[in-house]
Structure 1
Amino acid sequence: MDTKLSNSQAGRPEKFWKNPDFIIDYTWARVQPQFWQSISNEPQAAKSFEATTESLVYAYLTVNLNFKKIPLKGFMDDIEENILRACLRLTHGNQKNAAAVLHLKPTTLFEKMRKLCINGRRIKLSGKL
């Protein structure tokens, strides 16, 4: 078989050039659409994800908080408390498992709970947060 490059193969990757024409055409026909589609859509997908994230955060802040008047420390404490409570709810009050889910040391989680006045015993006894 002739393995010389034809004019139709000029835009194809080099790894396909060493194969016979019928293998090149079959392989390129299978790979090309997904390959080019994934490359062309990647920057758009990243931009749309960032734009969506920004708009969702802004919408949350405008609906739920008066974010221009709230101090940043209070805002971050509220978010941290909500995350800790949700994680403790997920682990049914088990603080060791909650620390593992959050990728924290258990002592760090206990200190955060103490700082935010979250009582672990009450959570275990009541079964809800």
Structure 2
Amino acid sequence: MSNYYLIMKNLIYSIIILSSRQVSSKEVRMVSPTDFIKDYVSLHYAEHNILDQISEISYYSKQYLSSRFKYDTGLTFKSYLQQVRCGAAEHLINCTNMSIPEISEAVGYNDIKYFQNIFKKHNGVSPKQLKMYFNKINNRKNES
């Protein structure tokens, strides 16, 4: 059920952003490429080949988008995407009863081992350790 919630939430965000900006291919160019990338990633982080999609929509090359993003933020696109996915995973770990493999898939990682390595790199703890920590905190709250 929580996967449906995430899908619906992302669809609603997409509708709001697109309708508020009334985005057309010409208007996409008016938004800075970096801001457009951040907005797009926030809605589509679980998908694959995101930079290809952005390139197709914006008519900028992937190389230009990558270098511009790095110049503007100091982060590579891949690193930024990993941060967003790890943040979403942390939220799911805290707020749902989803298993770690389900969370891994929900945030865009098909390989659970790769997800665990990336998550630990970005958060300093494994997803399992964080889940145990949140469960402990939530159990204390319920006992009070």
Bin of the TM-score, shorter chain as denominator length? 0.3 to 0.5
Larger CA Rg, structure 1 vs 2: 1
Query: Structure with the greater relative contact order (CA < 8 A, sep ≥ 6): 1 or 2?
Result: 2
Name the one with the larger helix percent. Answer: 2
